[in-house]
Amino acid sequence: MRRNDSADAGLGTSGIVPTVGCVFRPDVPPESLAKVARVADESGIDELWLWEDCFAHGGIATAAIALSNSVDLTVGVGVLPIPMRNVALTAMEMATLERAFPGRVRIGVGHGVQDWMRQIGAKVASPLTYLREYLTCLAALLRGENVTYAGRYVSLRDVRLAWPPSQDMELLAAATGPKTLQLSGELASGTILTGGTTPDETRDAVAHIRAGLQAGVDRGRHSVLAHVICTTGPNARAEAMQEIEHWELDPERAAVASGTPKEIADSCRQWVLAGADTVILQPAATVNLESFVGIVGNDVLPLIKG
């Protein structure tokens, strides 16, 4: 695994060598994933990130495709919406991927988009309570424990994985508001920030995560992952504005990484200085993904690492 494993990574420590990833967008046909994963692996980027958006790609299926078509590439899923998945099934699938591809899997879980959860009849009255119960049980299952639990939403009786992960597996949680950020710090080993989070908002998020860390069990390293809109080429700024509009971000406050490789690298450092140890570059909808990951791996990543 090529990402930084220092104990304070992701919590504002100076001198971080960040992990750099790219997003394989869910509006791209899944049959193109294998080739993109091979190009990403060859280009040297650290990670390829997948989204389990309703009703596009399945997160675990696409992760298996990307892992099977790469050698060194770490593959992340950000994130699995927990109302769609029984916690025992999530633990089984996470453990299976980790055992088959040790050290190359990063899986996040989260509330899910509430409109989508309502659409499939899975919306819960208290997403925060559900996430607390889910993370508690998922972490225990991944540790290989026998779990019996009776919560408001999660119920397990004498459940233990037959094939738990062969090492302590990272457990990431998606978080936005202060309460969820604090919960992630308390129960998860890393936090995935929502796309469009600015460097200033990242600093605020890190403060809430720290508060959760104080309340939780010491897990050593807690990673903070920032999704950053990234556009390249002669029309980079115009494409960035289109993405800002598409994601309904405030154009006066939105922060992006666009332009030349140096300009992109310089922009990414803002999130690193704010406390992120992983920067995930999110391309425009119209970009050729093979070309994008090649530019990031060959031209941008060396500047960020340097």
Q: Which residues pair with 19 in a beta bridge?
A: 278
CATH 3.20.20.30 is the classification of domain 19-305: yes
pLDDT at 53: 92
Q: Locate 190 and state its tokens.
A: 């890393």
Per-residue pLDDT for 157 more than 80? yes
Q: Which two tokens stand for residue 4?
A: 């930084």
Contact between residue 26 and residue 51 where contact means Cβ atoms under 8 Å apart? yes
Q: Cβ neighbours of residue 61 under 8 Å, at least 6 residues apart?
A: none
Domain boundaries, the chain: 19-305
Which pTM does this prediction carry? Answer: 0.93
Specify the higher pLDDT residue, 4 or 28. Answer: 28
Neighbouring residues of 222: CB distance < 8 A, sequence distance ≥ 6: 9, 10, 11, 185, 188, 189, 190, 191, 209, 213
Of the pLDDT bands very low, low, confident and very high (cuts 50, 70, 90), residue 167 is confident
Bridge-partner residues for 47, per DSSP?
A: 21, 74
pLDDT tens-digit readout, 60-111: 999 999 999 999 999 999 999 999 999 999 999 999 999 999 999 999 999 9
> Tell me: the pLDDT tens digits for 199-255?
999 999 999 999 999 987 777 789 999 999 999 998 999 999 999 999 999 998 999
Write out the E strands in the chain.
19-24, 47-50, 74-81, 105-110, 147-150, 155-159, 172-175, 190-193, 223-232, 257-259, 278-282
Which has the higher per-residue pLDDT, 166 or 148?
A: 148
| Averaged pLDDT of the chain | 93
Using the predicted structure, report yes or no on whether residue 183 has a pLDDT greater than 50: yes
Rounded CA gap, 219 and 21, in Å?
A: 24
How confident is residue 16, by pLDDT bands cut at 50, 70 and 90?
confident
